[in-house]
Structure 1
Amino acid sequence: MSSGSLALLLHAHLPFVRHPEHEEFLEEAWLFEAITETYLPLIAMMRRLVREEVPFQLTMTVSPTLCAMLQDQLLRDRYLRYLDRSIDLAAREMERNRDDEPLRRLSEFYHANLTDCRSQFLECDGDLLGEFRKLRDEGCLEIMGTAATHGLLPLLQLSPEAVRAQILIGRDVYRAAFGADPAGFWLPECAFAPGLETIMQEANLRWFVLDAHGLMFGEPRPRRGIYAPCYSAAGPAAFARDRDSSRQVWSATEGYPGDPAYREFYRDIGFDLPLEYLRPGSGSTARSFSGLKYHRITSRDGEKELYDPANAAIVAEAHASHFFETRRQQINELRALDFDPIVVVPFDAELFGHWWFEGPRFL
């Protein structure tokens, strides 16, 4: 009797944005937003599943540049400063909205969420990589390696030394961060070219992920399509992304994140309220996201209604059930071909929580 598997992969990567020469630097907020809205919520979600004895297995990457930033004490200190400012703003919003109950409740929601993030960050002493390591050691999280600076490897093949450095340094950074060598490797942008498998074999990597056409347009064409590993002559096995599954989640037009009930990413009080109120005494003239977003997607005509977190959570659960049932049907259809299919569904980790606020609930 054949069976099948669904492999969910989350690729966590940000470019290196540490700038000690400036007291504040706009791009460092990319990291702080991702910690608050993606990495801490993902860790909390996995910890909750472990406590509730819910069996699960998830695969992630943490890119070398992200590893370096998460380990950096200056950025950890600046993240706490960012959180404290955000908590203060949420507290002032609770007071400003005291006579408007729906807005006040949203302000309270954000204040509680940010306060929880601060407690969670301090509880692990800011060591998010350590939390990922513990989850790996408990057997519920597999962590992949990836290229050193996320270079697009097929383009870098003009300089073979650069490609080799990207892969081998990526492996070495992983070894230093997680105390072992990775088994799997995330090709940046899932981009593959012949010859990469030889360097991955040199790095003792056993498998990698590429886009669907990397297998389907290959020679010879794989007999089981993208639903089984395809072993290269050099050794490492290739797993291909299932486009239909990815589109169901990733697409803002066809996928779940575009639902009218979900939080509107781009409507933020950082662009709605006076700068002096948002950053009193800072003298800043640059607007940026505050993370306090009071509206839901609603429609595409510009009119936005207030966000309802409880209703959005219900919708996320319904979407998760639909996704699971769709994948089960897909796997059952593939099983009729008398093999054990694996449906590989990779996403950018930052989709879950940052771009799609309800994403961790969906997971």
Structure 2
Amino acid sequence: MEKGYLALILHAHLPFVRHPEYEEFLEERWFFEALTETYIPLLEIFERLDNDRVDFSLTLNLSPTLCSMMDDQLLKERYVRYLDKMVELCEKEIERTRFSPSFHKLALMYYYRFRRTKDKFCYHYNQNLLREFKKYQDKGFLEIITCAGTHGFLPLLISKEAIKAQIQVGVSSYIKYFSSHPKGMWLPECGYFEGLDKFLKDVGLKYFILETHGVLFSRPRPKFGVYSSYYTKRRIAVFGRDPESSKSVWSSIEGYPGDYNYREYYRDIGFDLDYDYIKPYISPSGARIFTGIKYYKITGPTPYKQPYLPEEAKKKAAEHAGNFMFNREKQAEYLFGVLRRKPIIVAPYDAELFGHWWFEGIDWLEFLIRKIRYDQENIKLITPSRYLKLYPKNQVINPAPSSWGWKGYYEVWLNGSNDWIYPHLHRAQEAMVKLANRYKNSNGLKRRILNQMAREVLLAQSSDWAFMMKTNTFSEYARKRIVVHLERFHLLKNYLEKNFYNFEVLEDIERKDNLFPDIEFSIFQS
């Protein structure tokens, strides 16, 4: 009989990046790499576990923007083209490394990996990944939850109409793709403010996830720490992140991903090889970029890296999965004795950690699921909604404002590098609300313009842009995206107010920013 439960929660999200105006666009590779290294490998894990009759429970958030990209025909076509290009590069690498046995073996590994990924995507999944994820939810293995529409950082949106719109779009998008109502929501960046639970209650959500101190600093003090579910005063359940289980997986210094046998992320042939040789496979601008083909292991704190050995890395992944399971067993045993009830250990992670940032993370996850099923009896995998069925009566608390960003509050998304965006976002939100109220009975062209304005506001609100500016990664692209979406919003606003339209411009904007095709501007009405 189990003494506790482990809730593995994966947050799969990317900002909406789609540029039909260009033949090839660098930032679209974020999506292609995530498909290749994380999302399709996850489906392969689920398929193997299902074929082997391994019972498991996993919670997965697929954000609305990610779902929109997975469902986009243009991006599907470009992804196949990307895979063809990578297969071509691997073929060249097989020839180039033929006299270097260590590297030749790895070149073959990547070649077969890209070929298998293409076969899976095109023929096994028929380019429909959302249907595959839904299949495993329907079988009871997955609990897919939703997220705010474009991952807007809700505490800084201020306007109740804007917050309501983000949440409503998240729910509507989920219903469209998964034919059911979501049970839970992943709050963008785990960002919470007092009163947010009312918005979640209004759309019928049952639970959400918070950072550790969002629960620990609640009023009154939570009786069971972060190892139980709680209710807000509006009877929405809340779960808090367990810091112990997170650190061992998140940290590249103290955690498993930093093991010297694992693949080195930052040594890539996109930077290592001769420029003329690699040029056809890097950025269209000619800038060197990561290709995903990496031949070295971490080795240690030294610039001199040794060749990567996949077999040794896989053994380490199995060892680390066993260690993680052992630690959770002991944790559950202790908590069960102290709390006098079966605890839930909530372990949320960015999905892209597994496979993309931590190459062996996919193997680690599969080993962990199998080991928990067969190698012990103290813990059991569970989803938040199933835990709530086991423990329907819970303490009522008022969660504290929090996020899972640096310092635990809002500073990552509001600081000297990105604070300039908020007056512009708030003015656009106010204008959107006023126009949605003024033209609430509009049809035809006016309705079409208002719907597109709603898309532009939502896209500008994405928390990813402020995050990129703070970390100075693709910061110019992030700044450009906010400016472009706000420019398009105000252009369409002028069309509406002056009753003057340029159909070519409107169609061009609709073609570029085509997510949420069923959106209704009325979500911004007061």
TM-score (norm 1): 0.98
State how far apart, in whole Å, the 2-side matches of 1:299 and 1:163 are. Answer: 46
Partner of 2:344: 342
Matched, 1:305 2:335: no
Residue 183 of structure 1 aligns to which amino acid in structure 2?
A: K
- Kept after mapping to 2: 8 A contact 1:249/1:257: yes
Contact 2:89 2:281 in 1 (8 A): no
Contact 1:275/1:285 (8 A) holds in 2: no
Determine if contact 1:60/1:142 at 8 Å carries over to the other structure: yes
1:127-171 deviations in Å (ceiling 9; x for gaps): 111100001001101101111111111122x21111111111111
| Aligned residue in 2 for 1:249 | 249
Distance in 1, Cα, partners of 2:75 & 2:195: 37
Q: Could you tell me how far 1:85 is from its partner in structure 2? A: 0.5
Q: Which amino acid aligns with 1:147?
A: A
Q: Which residue of the partner structure matches residue 107 of structure 1?
A: 107
* Alpha-carbon distance in structure 2 between the residues aligned to 1:294 and 1:74: 32
Which ranges in structure 2 are unaligned for 5 or more consecutive residues? 366-526
User: 2:70–2:128: 8 Å Cα contact kept in structure 1?
Assistant: yes
What corresponds to 1:64 in structure 2?
Answer: 64
CA distance in 1: counterparts of 2:113 and 2:172, whole angstroms: 36
Residue 4 of structure 1 corresponds to: 4
Structure 1, unmatched stretches of 5+, are none
Larger radius of gyration: 2
1:284 CA drift (Å): 4.8
Q: Match for residue 74 of structure 1? A: 74
**Alpha-carbon deviations, 1:158-215, whole Å to 9, x = none?**
2111111111111111111111110011011112111111110111000100001011
* Superposition map of 1:216-235 within 5 A: 216-235=216-235
Q: What amino acid does structure 2 have at the position aligned with 1:103?
A: F
Which whole-Å CA distance do the structure 2 matches of 1:300 and 1:69 have between them? 38
Which residue number in structure 1 is paired with residue 173 of structure 2? 173
Superposition pairs for residues 198-237 of structure 1, below 5 Å? 198-237=198-237
- Paired position in structure 2 for 1:134: 135
Deviations 1:293-329 (A, max 9, x none): 0001111221211100111000000000000010010
SS of the residue aligned with 1:354? coil
Matched residues in 2 for 1:201 and 1:128: separation? 30
Question: Which structure 2 residues correspond to residues 1-363 of structure 1 after superposition, within 5 A?
Answer: 3-122=3-122, 123-156=124-157, 158-280=158-280, 284-337=285-338, 338-363=340-365
Q: Structure 2: how far apart are the matches of 1:327 and 1:49?
A: 21
- The letter of the residue matching 2:155 is P
- Look up the SS of the partner of 1:27 in the other structure: helix
Q: Deviations over 1:211-231 (max 9, x none)?
A: 010111111011111100010
Taking structure 2 as the reference length, what is the TM-score of the superposition? 0.68
Q: CA deviation at 1:3?
A: 2.8
Deviations 1:318-346 (A, max 9, x none): 00000001001000000002111000000
1:221 & 1:307 partners in 2: Cα distance? 49
Q: Which structure's residues are more often helix, by fraction?
A: 2
- Structure 1 residues 284 and 166: CA distance shift in structure 2, 3 A: closer
CA distance in 2 between counterparts of 1:319 and 1:214 reads: 29
8 Å contact from structure 2 (residues 281, 291) kept in 1: no
Work out the number of aligned pairs and report it.
362
Rounded to whole Å, the distance in 1 between the matches of 2:238 and 2:57 is 20
What is the CA distance between 1:281 and its match in structure 2? 9.7
> Secondary structure at 1:209's aligned position in 2?
strand
Judge conservation of contact 1:2–1:335 (CA < 8 Å) in 2: no
- CA–CA separation in structure 2 for the residues paired with 1:65 and 1:274: 37
Aligned-CA RMSD value: 1.3
The letter for the 1-side match of 2:41 is P
Which one-letter code corresponds to 2:162 in the other structure? A
Contact 1:275–1:284 (CA under 8 A) maintained in structure 2:
no
User: Structure 1: how far apart are the matches of 2:233 and 2:314?
Assistant: 46
Q: Structure 1: how far apart are the matches of 2:240 and 2:121?
A: 35
Query: Cα gap change, 1:310/1:2 in structure 2, threshold over 3 Å: closer, same or farther?
Result: closer
State the SS of the aligned residue for 1:166.
Answer: helix
Q: What per-residue deviation string (whole Å, max 9, x for no partner) do you get for residues 51-80 of structure 1?
A: 001111111011011000000010000000
Contact 1:259–1:297 (CA under 8 A) maintained in structure 2: yes
Cα distance in 2, alignment partners of residues 69 and 291 from structure 1: 21
